[in-house]
Amino acid sequence: TYKFIQAGKQKELYNLESDPKELNNIINQEPAISEKMSDLLASWLSRNPIPIDLDTKIDAKAREKLKSLGYIQ
Where are the alpha helices (H) located in the chain, listed in sequence order? Answer: 31-47, 60-68
State residue 26's pLDDT score. 98
pLDDT of 55 over the 70 cut: no
Rounded CA-CA distance 34/65 in Å is: 26
pLDDT of 6 over the 80 cut: yes
Kindly report, residue by residue over 7-54, the tens digit of the pLDDT.
Answer: 888 999 999 999 999 999 999 999 999 999 999 999 998 898 777 776
What is the 8-class DSSP label of residue 49?
A: P
Rounded CA-CA distance 60/73 in Å is: 13
pLDDT band of residue 56 (cuts 50, 70, 90) is confident
Rounded CA-CA distance 25/21 in Å is: 11
